[in-house]
């Protein structure tokens, strides 16, 4: 009996091992499917363009490919690139926005990072200061680099080298709900100054929806995320503040930063802004007519169309305007950009850069612009009529000329953004005094941004 | 050479246990050792190629910035609250479902629904329910006139941990109920009959039969619940990301944030290592507490 059991057990283990290796075999056959399509393109290349070299697969990690609004445009761009370069296949690696940084860093730690990685301004400093991406100056050429808008070039530079390309730039502009302005008896225009903005916001905050729900005048995102710390810089700049003192060293324990924190505290305390709001909450509230004004990037129009459920008909319900002026007496904003970096693990950096150039050249950025209002960070393209056709385009381009560069890239910058967001939470949610919050933030940033 | 029966038995057992041991070794053993090893190095995902030995540098940093102590406090507050409420409510529900009530079978099935929903989906669901401006929770409470102004469930320093606790309770209660119910069904009916003949009331039956007979089940399920909640990550990460400020930063959030947001793997590993020590200590104390009275025939049945 025991002998039979033992034999049975050995058999079972052998079968399990066989099943495991069978699994591997399956993986192999799955992995061979892109190769199969590769060989198809290689065939096409053999018949059409024999000189274009070995078959190449470029892996492109992106969150835009996983999002319904941008998926189609990206697939079309990849297909057009393959038409021009039949030996190259673009393989998308879809990773959600919130996970892309850590996932690509973990991939890189095992030498397996995708060739091209999509990133955004708040996360970019971490890539720039790491050893997983390569400088692009030589690969892109000086003509291309000189064509970039100066503040974006600076935002994507680290230690004097361009470490990424601003692909889809977006200044933060002020969106205002025309219907709510009318309902509150306000003029049919956006506020010109911060004081006027607060005055308008107070008038709108007195309104209620038909079912008696509260309407907010002005929204500021205060969720604890690096991007919200970066957005807070827009307000710090407007209050004529900075992260750095006159000596170039970190100093946020300044009257300007304290005043900015007081502004955050006031708008929440007075019920003008929803407390602890996420950016997506603001977008939702704006789209359902419960928020009068807030700042956002170019994505506004498409997002409102979707969230309001009214499609293009909703376009007439809102306007976009320059950020109101404050202590600097001129509109000041920050520019965010979805960027692209090339990983050190890439075996085809030249082709990866070729792909980036292709994506940021006029035809593809026009396609992206038509699809999602994306602007261009290249001076020669930004002035083209197609990018200045609508009032919305003009506002975005105008604001692009009124943006202040973000702090120079630094290993701790992303963490610093998170600390700024935390300071904003301390004054809005935890009731801490702006003076204390600024002092604490100052000592944190001095440690982080050495 | 002929093996003795004892050796054969040993070999047989070894072969039986080997696949599981190997699996555990590769999925748990080696990662734990590697993580302990990393906790003594200056290592960042920013530059994985350079790893320098810094002795207890990571641990010193952890204790210096107060975040660890705060996170330990939050973790214990959360675990104790959620396990206590889970046990109390679970016991009540199990007693009800063990009684003679209509649609008993259907109810036992229905109660399992939250358990089969993936935690991430549950977290997203609760995040929307708790949304202050257009979430259902505030809407209902305001309609019932229980609250005047909308509550900032996830962005109020004092409410956020409770909001996550409610979501965790909803998710984990079915497990507690099912296990306690299974334990109750294992108690022989004759014991209750005997107790009734002796004139014991419902309350006496509960305290002198049900509870003592369930001791081992209770010990196991509450320990599992403790461990489950000690390492709870998705609910916190999705609902609050450890905020507002640091109000819901538990050890799991702190260790993830340090390792994968700040990309400081060394410090992240050190947090993990301390977390492991705390867990081991907790389990030891827990087992000791439940062992009180054992060996004197107290728990014999």
Instruction: Give the confidence band of A32 by pLDDT, cuts at 50, 70, 90.
Output: very low
Which of A78-87, B112-121, B150-159, B290-299 is predicted with the least confidence, judged by mean pLDDT? B290-299
Question: With an 8 Å Cβ cutoff, is A287 touching chain B?
Answer: no
Question: With an 8 Å Cβ cutoff, is A214 touching chain B?
Answer: yes
pLDDT of residue A225: 85
Is A186 a residue whose pLDDT tops 50? Answer: yes
- Which chain A residues are within 8 Å of B7, Cβ to Cβ? none
The CB-based long-range contact list for B141-149 (8 Å cut-off, 24+ gap) reads none
Eight-class DSSP state of A334: -
Quote the minimal CA–CA distance from A52 to chain B in Å.
35
Please tell me the distance from the alpha carbon of residue A167 to that of residue A300, in angstroms, as a whole number: 18
- Which chain A residues are within 8 Å of B154, Cβ to Cβ? 276
pLDDT of residue A20: 39
The kind and range of the H/E element at A291 are strand A291-296
Longest dimension (CA), chain B: 85
- Minimal CA–CA distance to A289: which of A369, A209, A387? A209
Average pLDDT, rounded, for chain A: 86
Which of B46, B243, B263 is facing A224, going by the closest CB pair?
Answer: B243
Under CATH, to which class is B65-291 assigned?
mainly alpha
Phi, psi (deg, nearest 5) at residue B293: 90, -15
Which of A129, A281, A418 is facing B131, going by the closest CB pair?
Answer: A281
- Which chain A residues are within 8 Å of B249, Cβ to Cβ? none
| Extents of the domains making up chain B | 65-291
Check: CB of residue B77 under 8 Å from CB of residue B93.
no
Cβ-defined contact of A102 to B260 (cutoff 8 Å)? yes
- Minimal CA–CA distance to B85: which of B187, B152, B155, B177? B177
Cβ-defined contact of A224 to B152 (cutoff 8 Å)? no
Residue B267, CA distances (Å) to A6, B62, B258, B260 in order: 48, 7, 7, 11
CB neighbour class for A137 (10 Å; exposed up to 12, middle 13-18, buried from 19): middle
Question: With an 8 Å Cβ cutoff, is A284 touching chain B?
Answer: yes
- Which chain A residues are within 8 Å of B61, Cβ to Cβ? none
- Which chain A residues are within 8 Å of B38, Cβ to Cβ? none
Eight-class DSSP state of A288: T
Cβ-defined contact of B244 to A284 (cutoff 8 Å)? no
Instruction: Give the confidence band of B294 by pLDDT, cuts at 50, 70, 90.
Output: low
- Which chain A residues are within 8 Å of B8, Cβ to Cβ? 2
Which of B26, B45, B265 would you mutate first to test chain A, the one with the most A CBs within 10 A?
A: B45
Express as a percent the part of chain A with pLDDT over 70.
Answer: 88
Question: With an 8 Å Cβ cutoff, is B4 touching chain A?
Answer: no
Check: CB of residue A419 under 8 Å from CB of residue A441.
yes
- Which chain A residues are within 8 Å of B132, Cβ to Cβ? 274-276
Question: With an 8 Å Cβ cutoff, is B34 touching chain A?
Answer: no
Instruction: Give the confidence band of A52 by pLDDT, cuts at 50, 70, 90.
Output: low
Is A330 a residue whose pLDDT tops 70? Answer: yes
Q: What is the mean pLDDT of residues A171-200?
A: 95
Please tell me the distance from the alpha carbon of residue B274 to that of residue B279, in angstroms, as a whole number: 9
Which of A3-12, A109-118, A285-294, B163-172 is predicted with the least confidence, judged by mean pLDDT? A3-12
Cite the DSSP H helix spans in A175-225. 178-183, 194-205
- Which chain B residues are within 8 Å of A292, Cβ to Cβ? none
Which of B263, B266, B268, B269 would you mutate first to test chain A, the one with the most A CBs within 10 A?
A: B263
Please tell me the distance from the alpha carbon of residue B139 to that of residue B127, in angstroms, as a whole number: 14
Which of A44-48, A312-316, A417-421 is predicted with the least confidence, judged by mean pLDDT? A44-48
Which of A16, A102, A225 is facing B19, going by the closest CB pair?
Answer: A16
Question: With an 8 Å Cβ cutoff, is A411 touching chain B?
Answer: yes
- Minimal CA–CA distance to B94: which of B187, B179, B172? B179
Q: What is the ipTM of this complex?
A: 0.77
Express as a percent the part of chain B with pLDDT over 90.
Answer: 55
- Which chain A residues are within 8 Å of B46, Cβ to Cβ? 105, 126, 129-132, 411
Which of A8, A208, A422, A430 would you mutate first to test chain B, the one with the most B CBs within 10 A?
A: A430
**Residue A341: CB partners within 8 Å, gap ≥ 6?**
A116, A117, A119, A124, A127, A133, A163, A164, A165
pLDDT tens per residue, range A423-446 = 999 999 888 999 999 999 999 999
Instruction: Give the confidence band of A273 by pLDDT, cuts at 50, 70, 90.
Output: very high
Question: With an 8 Å Cβ cutoff, is B64 touching chain A?
Answer: no
Domains delineated in chain A:
53-170+336-400 (3.40.190.10), 173-334+408-448 (3.40.190.10)
pLDDT of residue A17: 39
pLDDT of residue A272: 94
Cβ-defined contact of A429 to B157 (cutoff 8 Å)? yes
Please tell me the distance from the alpha carbon of residue B140 to that of residue A304, in angstroms, as a whole number: 27
Is B172 a residue whose pLDDT tops 90? Answer: yes
Check: CB of residue A327 under 8 Å from CB of residue A260.
no
Is A90 a residue whose pLDDT tops 60? Answer: yes
Question: With an 8 Å Cβ cutoff, is B238 touching chain A?
Answer: no
Which of A109, A131, A276 is facing B155, going by the closest CB pair?
Answer: A276
Cβ-defined contact of B155 to A6 (cutoff 8 Å)? no
Q: What is the mean pLDDT of residues B25-42?
A: 92
Which of A109, A131, A415 is facing B262, going by the closest CB pair?
Answer: A415
- Minimal CA–CA distance to A273: which of A224, A218, A198? A218
R_g of chain A computed on alpha carbons: 25
- Which chain A residues are within 8 Å of B49, Cβ to Cβ? 131
Q: Is the four-CA dihedral A146, A152, A157, A162 of positive or negative sign?
A: negative
Most confident of A55-69, A188-202, B183-197: A188-202
Which residue from B minimizes the CA distance to A291? B133
Cβ-defined contact of A130 to B157 (cutoff 8 Å)? no
Question: With an 8 Å Cβ cutoff, is A285 touching chain B?
Answer: yes
Check: CB of residue A108 under 8 Å from CB of residue A345.
yes
Cβ neighbour number for residue A107 with a 10 Å cutoff: 20
Cβ-defined contact of A223 to B49 (cutoff 8 Å)? no
Q: What is the mean pLDDT of residues A274-293?
A: 91
pLDDT tens per residue, range A217-239 = 999 998 888 889 999 999 999 99
pLDDT tens per residue, range A352-381 = 999 999 999 999 999 998 888 888 999 999
Q: What is the total residue count of chain A?
A: 450
Quote the minimal CA–CA distance from A409 to chain B in Å.
14
Which residue from A minimizes the CA distance to B157? A430
- Which chain A residues are within 8 Å of B142, Cβ to Cβ? none
Q: What is the mean pLDDT of residues B272-280?
A: 91
Cβ-defined contact of B134 to A290 (cutoff 8 Å)? yes
Cβ-defined contact of A214 to B150 (cutoff 8 Å)? yes
Quote the minimal CA–CA distance from A329 to chain B in Å.
33
Q: What is the mean pLDDT of residues B80-88?
A: 96
**Residue B105: CB partners within 8 Å, gap ≥ 6?**
none
Express as a percent the part of chain A with pLDDT over 90.
Answer: 58
Cβ neighbour number for residue A27 with a 10 Å cutoff: 10
Average pLDDT, rounded, for chain B: 89
pLDDT of residue B47: 77
Q: What is the mean pLDDT of residues B195-219?
A: 91
Question: With an 8 Å Cβ cutoff, is B42 touching chain A?
Answer: no
Question: With an 8 Å Cβ cutoff, is B132 touching chain A?
Answer: yes
Higher pLDDT, B52 or A289: A289
């Amino acid at each position: 009996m025991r002998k039979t059991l033992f034999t049975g057990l050995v058999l079972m283990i052998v079968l399990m091992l066989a099943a495991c290796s069978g699994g591997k075999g399956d993986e192999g056959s799955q992995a061979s499917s892109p190769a199969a399509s590769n060989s198809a393109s290689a065939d096409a290349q053999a018949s059409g363009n024999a000189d274009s070299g070995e078959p190449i697969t470029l892996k492109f990690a992106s969150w835009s490919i996983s999002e319904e609004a941008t998926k189609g445009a990206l697939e079309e761009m990849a297909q057009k690139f393959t038409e021009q370069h039949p030996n190259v296949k673009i393989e998308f690696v879809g990773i959600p926005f919130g996970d892309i940084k850590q996932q690509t860093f973990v991939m890189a730690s095992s030498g397996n990072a995708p060739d091209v990685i999509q990133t955004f301004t708040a996360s970019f400093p971490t890539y720039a200061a790491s050893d997983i991406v390569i400088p692009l100056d030589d690969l892109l050429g000086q003509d291309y680099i000189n064509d970039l808008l100066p503040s974006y070039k600076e935002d994507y530079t680290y230690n004097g080298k361009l470490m990424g390309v601003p692909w889809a730039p977006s200044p933060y502009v002020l969106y205002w709900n025309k219907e709510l302005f009318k309902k509150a008896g306000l003029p049919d225009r956006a506020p010109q100054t911060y004081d006027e903005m607060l005055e308008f916001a107070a008038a709108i905050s007195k309104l209620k929806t038909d079912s008696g729900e509260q309407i907010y005048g002005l929204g500021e995102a205060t969720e604890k995320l690096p991007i919200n710390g970066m957005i807070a810089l827009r307000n710090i700049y407007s209050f004529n503040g900075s992260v750095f003192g006159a000596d170039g060293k970190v100093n946020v324990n300044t009257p300007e930063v304290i005043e900015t924190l007081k502004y955050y505290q006031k708008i929440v305390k007075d019920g003008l802004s929803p407390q602890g709001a996420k950016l997506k909450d603001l977008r939702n509230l704006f789209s359902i007519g419960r928020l009068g004004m807030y700042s956002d990037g170019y994505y506004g129009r498409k997002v409102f169309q979707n969230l309001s459920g009214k499609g293009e008909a909703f376009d007439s319900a809102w306007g976009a305007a320059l950020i109101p002026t404050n202590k600097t007496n001129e509109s000041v904003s920050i520019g965010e950009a979805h960027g692209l970096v090339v990983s050190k693990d890439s075996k085809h950096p030249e082709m990866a850069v070729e792909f980036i150039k292709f994506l940021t050249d006029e035809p593809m950025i026009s396609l992206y612009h038509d699809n999602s209002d994306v602007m261009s960070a290249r001076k020669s393209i930004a002035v083209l009529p197609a990018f200045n056709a609508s009032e919305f385009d003009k506002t975005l381009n105008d604001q692009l000329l009124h943006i202040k560069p973000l702090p120079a890239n630094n290993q701790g910058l992303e963490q610093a953004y998170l600390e700024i967001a935390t300071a904003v939470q301390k004054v809005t949610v935890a009731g801490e005094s702006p003076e204390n919050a600024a002092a604490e933030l100052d000592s944190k940033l001095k440690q982080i941004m050495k | 050479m002929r093996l003795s029966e004892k050796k054969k038995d040993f070999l047989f057992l070894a072969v039986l246990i080997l696949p599981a041991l190997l699996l555990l070794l590769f999925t748990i053993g080696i990662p734990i050792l590697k993580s302990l090893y990393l906790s003594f190095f200056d290592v960042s995902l920013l530059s994985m190629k350079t790893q320098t030995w810094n002795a207890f540098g990571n641990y010193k940093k952890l204790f210096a910035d107060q975040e660890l102590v705060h996170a330990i406090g939050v973790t214990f507050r959360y675990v104790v609250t959620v396990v206590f409420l889970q046990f109390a409510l679970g016991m009540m529900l199990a007693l009800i479902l063990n009684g003679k009530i209509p649609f008993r079978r259907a109810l036992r099935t229905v109660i399992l629904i939250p358990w089969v929903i993936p935690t991430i989906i549950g977290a997203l669901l609760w995040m929307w329910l708790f949304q202050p401006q257009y979430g259902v929770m505030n809407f209902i409470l305001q309609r019932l006139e229980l609250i005047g102004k909308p509550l900032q469930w996830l962005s109020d320093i004092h409410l956020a941990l409770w909001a996550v606790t409610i979501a965790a309770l909803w998710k984990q209660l079915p497990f507690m109920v099912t296990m306690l119910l299974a334990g109750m069904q294992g108690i022989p009916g004759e014991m209750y009959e005997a107790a009734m003949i002796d004139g014991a009331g419902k309350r006496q039956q509960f305290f002198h039969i049900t509870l003592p007979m369930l001791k081992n089940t209770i010990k196991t399920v509450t320990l599992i619940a403790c461990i489950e909640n000690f390492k709870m990550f998705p609910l916190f990460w999705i609902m609050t990301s450890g905020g507002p400020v640091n109000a819901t930063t538990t050890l799991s959030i702190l260790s993830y944030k340090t390792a994968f947001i700040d990309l400081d793997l060394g410090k992240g590993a050190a947090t993990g290592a301390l977390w492991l020590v705390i867990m081991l200590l907790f389990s030891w104390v827990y087992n000791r507490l439940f062992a009180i009275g054992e060996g004197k025939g107290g728990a014999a049945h």
